[in-house]
A and B are shown apart, each in its own frame.
Chain A
């Protein structure tokens, strides 16, 4: 069924699938099979995105969104790695809190977005708070899981070399747990993207989400699709960076 091909060929096949899909939408809109009032042609959307990024009408919101994502990512990674480490180091705490963290992670926390709005007002801080709370949970869970899943012989190696705890952490434990840690960070990034764009859209604050909501309220569908294209681009770049990181630590 499968035959050996280079990864470049896979990439080309995938690109072809995307191009065919976009071409079908383009044809559908131009032949009015798809209502042109509701759906902009992909060429319009992409040209609009390029124009908006160049003149700043979309570039500005994109930078705001990027700023919110970046701050949330730093906060949730630092807090998540620290708490995950503590839950691993102090097993009693880990046993007590891990089911709670897992339970919260399974809950639709994005629905709590009115709470940061109430606390911080309609500011980018509220967006960052919501995204950070959502993203910190997978980082905690995967950090603890990664550290707890280290091969016991590695723990013995660290003991044999009489490494201090911090030395062992830096040279043995963290490298050994790195793949799981990065999986947690990748999950965190996905939750941040969802949290940031959703709160921006729903509360009309900040960056691209707000742009999409405003454009929709003005029935400016070309602008909606251009802004959606920008969200695609932003998410693709960030996910590719984390995917690259994941690939590096797996080697």
Chain B
């Protein structure tokens, strides 16, 4: 009963919203360059997915996101392992990391463009800087929450700092670490694609700006829709993976970074 009412509300909302979009666009109240009808966006989407050039732009962006995430998350894990192991060090750095992580990363784009050029590596750099903070913060935070008994037990058995990190902290904190990676992916996508809309010669963000500059607004809406769908799909896939990996652990998933 409840399920059907939920579904009814959703279908009703979707019909009203899309129908309203179509009606307003067709009525001529707004110029077609502002709001193309929903049907023409769908038609543009159908064309886009059949063009190999669209998938080439996706390929470029995914490559930059992947490399950026790998570098940023790798650095984040190393930094977390260093500062997460001591409560004092963590307490000193936590607010600094939080604050730096909350800043809009776009402000360092000029510096990255100078150092890494206008090609793909400045985008990789944006992805890496974006992904670093959520990974470092969630990982270090979850290391601080590993039970003290585990650490004392490992110490008394003669484990050094490196063994502690690899054999105690890493397995105990795997769930939050993966959640951090998921957040890192989300912000890396944002960082890379935003950088592509600024100075670039390839990538999905670049393509969207090309459509915008040429007033191909329906194509732009369709491409952005495709990007959002892909991002949401990747995010839910990772969410499913995290639930699968941590299905035996008792710890509840928490969002530390925002």
Contacts and interface: CB of A to CB of B under 8 A. Distances in A.
A79 interface: no
B93 A17 contact: yes
A202 interface: yes
B177 interface: no
A213 B115 CA distance: 16
A224 interface: yes
B221 interface: yes
A111 B208 contact: yes
Interface stretch (A56-64, A91-99, A157-165, A166-174): A91-99
A196 B114 CA distance: 23
A14 B175 CA distance: 29
B224 A212 contact: no
Q: Is the interface of B mostly helix, strand, loop or mixed?
A: helix
Interface stretch (A47-55, A70-78, A148-156, A232-240): A232-240
A206 interface: no
Contacts of B35: 119
A108 interface: yes
A231 B104 contact: yes
B110 A224 contact: yes
A227 B113 CA distance: 17
Contact-residue bracket for chain B:
35 or more
A100 B13 CA distance: 11
Interface in A171-199: 186-187, 190, 193-194, 196-198
A38 interface: yes
Contacts of A38: 111, 114-115
Given A17-B96, A92-B9, A212-B107, A115 B221 contact: yes
Interface in A114-148: 114-115, 117-119, 138
Contacts of A231: 103-104, 107
Contacts of A10: 91-92
A67 interface: no
Interface in B148-199: 186, 189-190, 193-194, 197-198
Contacts of A97: 9-10, 13
B110 A103 contact: no
A213 B106 CA distance: 10
Contact of B92 (A17, A190, A213): A17
A59 B13 CA distance: 45
Contacts of B15: none
Contact of A108 (B107, B221, B231): B231
A245 to B, nearest CB: 15
Contact of A106 (B92, B109, B110, B186): B186
A13 B190 contact: no
A110 B99 contact: no
A18 B104 contact: no
A96 B9 contact: yes
Contacts of B119: none
B34 interface: yes
Contact of A39 (B103, B105, B111): B111
Contacts of B193: 108, 111
Contacts of A209: 104, 106-107
B18 interface: no
A193 B186 contact: no
Contacts of B104: 193-194, 196-198, 209, 231, 235
Contact of A92 (B6, B92, B95, B111): B6
B107 A236 contact: no
A31 interface: no
Nearest to B208: A114
B212 interface: yes
Given A14-B96, A194-B104, A114 B111 contact: no
A108 B92 contact: no
Contacts of A187: 258
Given A17-B93, A92-B6, A112 B106 contact: no
B247 interface: no
A130 to B, nearest CB: 12
B194 A110 contact: yes
Nearest to B88: A2
A66 interface: no
B232 interface: yes
Interface string B229-243: 001100100000000
Given A2-B88, A10-B91, 16 more contacts: A17-B92, A37-B114, A38-B114, A93-B9, A100-B10, A106-B231, A108-B186, A111-B197, A114-B224, A117-B212, A118-B33, A118-B34, A119-B35, A190-B102, A197-B104, A202-B194
